[in-house]
């Protein structure tokens, strides 16, 4: 195909020519067991990578886990490392619009061409392991196991100087844990995925601590005392070092600024003042502080200050799509991927601190197994108007059921139910356009945020 691109259609980009093939690969991934049912095992992913020559060993890894802030912390760390001139690989999950977003090379989502070529290279090896597993009466490689193998292979093929890898779920048995993180990063740990990870923060912390490898550098955000003790114990058993927010490093302060905030951070090796972060919310400044400490640990073992103008560039160019992102104006439409109570509370606080809206309509949809009551309670502090709907996910809670939860938390006059998310957003935008200083916020699940971003693009109002 590549030899005949210009002859086929000189107006088409290389990436567009491979769109259909990329859709085919995504279909093959979707045919596997989905991410809502991860297998607690590492053997199959490790076996695939062995057959591929262990690509995950060809570059150092910064491994990131936690309950909230993983993606933003990963993206900020990647941006800083790229400002240093390193060729970076970044794996995050889930995606918002296209699966390519999950595999980022040098700051850009992987091209369709590279996505397809690498998949086709590894597919025979995936099939070999699938057959071995089926013959042993085990589940074939899951969507996330196959995607993890693909990401590691893509980074080796690029090649990258460093990979920042976000855990899919948990840590100990997450398929990304076949890679050995030189730096293990922990964002705040709270209750989420309790059916898989445990019913207490301590149990969840214990599962997440499994990413700590021998002699690693452990960087942790502020944690509940019991969770921090679990991480310190795991570090002790692996002869790793631990630096914790609030003691070895800290966010010294942050101030609202046009387009984001200006912050000061006490790092491991020195203090960095007046850094502009183009993300909204104090929680994002906390994420940035953790990312800075992670990069200090990676580049100089925490003993060498980062170069001021390079750090400033990395922070100022950081992005985190779907995290308090303005996707539309006139009226303002924000999206945020908050999908648990802690995330909802942080979002509500940021809306009150970083914006000056008089009224907000929240378009909300939640996935099953999530604490919908806690999410709605967190959001209800900034609005009395909810448009309750569902995302395109098969795991979306029925809008009528979610509406009853909103009724219980926020009152009988606080909500309308929409079976279709597009209708919910359209109605909210009409309401917001009818008066000044009104806004729309779409939140509750990452899939609903992705649906809203896609809708904005299709309808022509995406910023």
- Residue by residue, DSSP assigns 227-238 as HHHHHHHHHHHT
Decide: helix, strand or coil at residue 459: helix
Angle of helix 19-30 relative to helix 112-135, nearest 10 degrees, comes to 20
> Across the strands, what pairs with 164?
62, 90
Q: Which pLDDT does position 150 carry in this prediction?
A: 98
Q: Which pLDDT does position 303 carry in this prediction?
A: 87
C-alpha span between 272 and 280 (Å, rounded):
19
Burial of 98 (0-12, 13-18, 19+ CB in 10 A): middle
Query: Are 366 and 446 within 8 A, CB to CB?
Result: no
Q: Which pLDDT does position 369 carry in this prediction?
A: 83
Which among 217, 204, 24, 231 is positioned nearest to 112, based on CA atoms? 24
Q: Which pLDDT does position 4 carry in this prediction?
A: 41
| Whole-prediction pTM | 0.93
Q: How many helices (H) and strands (E) does the chain have?
A: 17, 17
Which among 199, 218, 198 is positioned nearest to 207, based on CA atoms? 198
C-alpha span between 91 and 149 (Å, rounded):
11
**Residues 304-335: tens digit of each pLDDT:** 999 999 999 999 999 999 999 999 999 999 99
C-alpha span between 62 and 185 (Å, rounded):
7
The tokens describing 50, both together, are 């062995």
**Residues 149-181: tens digit of each pLDDT:** 999 999 999 999 999 999 998 899 999 999 999
**According to the 3-state scheme, what is the secondary structure of 173-197?**
CCHHHHCCEEEEEECCCCCCCHHHH
Q: Which pLDDT does position 332 carry in this prediction?
A: 97
> Across the strands, what pairs with 441?
334, 362
Radius of gyration of the chain (CA): 22
* Residue stretches of the chain with pLDDT short of 50: 1-8
- All structural domains of the chain, each given as residue ranges with its CATH number in brackets, are 15-316 (3.40.1190.10), 325-459 (3.90.190.20)
Cα 228 to Cα 205, 222, 380: the distances in Å are 8, 8, 30
Q: Which pLDDT does position 63 carry in this prediction?
A: 98
Q: Which pLDDT does position 300 carry in this prediction?
A: 87
């Amino acid at each position: 195909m590549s030899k005949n691109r210009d002859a086929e259609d000189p107006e088409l980009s290389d990436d567009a020519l491979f769109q259909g093939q990329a859709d085919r690969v995504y279909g093959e991934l979707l045919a596997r067991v989905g991410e809502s049912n991860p297998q607690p095992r590492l053997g199959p992913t490790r076996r695939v990578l062995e057959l591929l020559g262990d690509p995950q060993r060809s570059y150092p890894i910064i491994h990131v886990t936690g309950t909230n802030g993983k993606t933003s912390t990963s993206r900020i760390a990647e941006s800083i490392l790229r400002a240093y001139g390193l060729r970076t690989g970044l794996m995050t999950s889930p995606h918002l619009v296209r699966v390519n977003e999950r595999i980022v090379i040098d700051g850009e989502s992987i091209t369709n061409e590279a996505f397809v070529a690498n998949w086709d290279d590894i597919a025979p090896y995936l099939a070999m392991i699938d057959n071995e597993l089926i013959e042993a009466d085990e589940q074939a490689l899951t969507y996330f196991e196959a995607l993890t193998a693909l990401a590691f292979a893509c980074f080796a093929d690029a090649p990258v100087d460093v990979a920042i890898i976000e855990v899919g779920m948990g840590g100990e048995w997450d398929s990304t844990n076949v890679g050995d993180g030189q730096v293990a990063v922990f964002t705040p740990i709270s209750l989420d995925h309790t059916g898989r990870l445990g019913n207490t923060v301590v149990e969840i912390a214990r599962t997440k601590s499994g990413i700590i490898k021998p002699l690693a550098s452990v960087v942790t955000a502020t944690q509940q005392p019991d969770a921090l003790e679990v991480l310190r114990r795991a570090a002790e058993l692996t002869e790793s070092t631990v630096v914790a927010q609030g003691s070895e490093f800290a966010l010294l302060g942050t101030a609202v600024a046009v387009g984001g905030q200006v912050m000061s951070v006490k790092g491991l090796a020195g203090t960095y003042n007046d850094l502009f972060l183009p993300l909204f919310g104090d929680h994002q400044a906390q994420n940035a502080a953790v990312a800075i400490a992670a990069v200090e640990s990676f580049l100089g073992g925490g003993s060498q200050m980062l170069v001021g103008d390079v750090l400033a560039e990395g922070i100022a160019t950081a992005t985190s799509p779907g995290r308090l992102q303005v996707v539309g104006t006139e009226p303002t439409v924000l999206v945020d991927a908050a999908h648990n109570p802690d995330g909802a509370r942080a979002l509500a606080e940021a809306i009150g601190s970083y914006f000056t809206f008089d009224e907000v309509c929240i378009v909300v949809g939640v996935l099953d197994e999530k604490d919908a009551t806690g999410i709605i309670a967190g959001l209800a502090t900034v609005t009395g108007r909810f448009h309750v709907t569902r995302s395109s996910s098969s795991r979306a809670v029925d809008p009528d059921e979610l509406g009853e939860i909103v009724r219980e938390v926020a009152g009988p006059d606080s909500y309308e139910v929409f079976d279709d998310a597009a209708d919910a957003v359209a109605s909210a935008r009409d309401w917001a356009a009818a008066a000044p200083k009104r806004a729309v916020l779409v939140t509750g699940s990452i899939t609903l945020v992705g649906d809203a971003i896609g809708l904005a693009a299709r309808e022509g109002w995406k910023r």
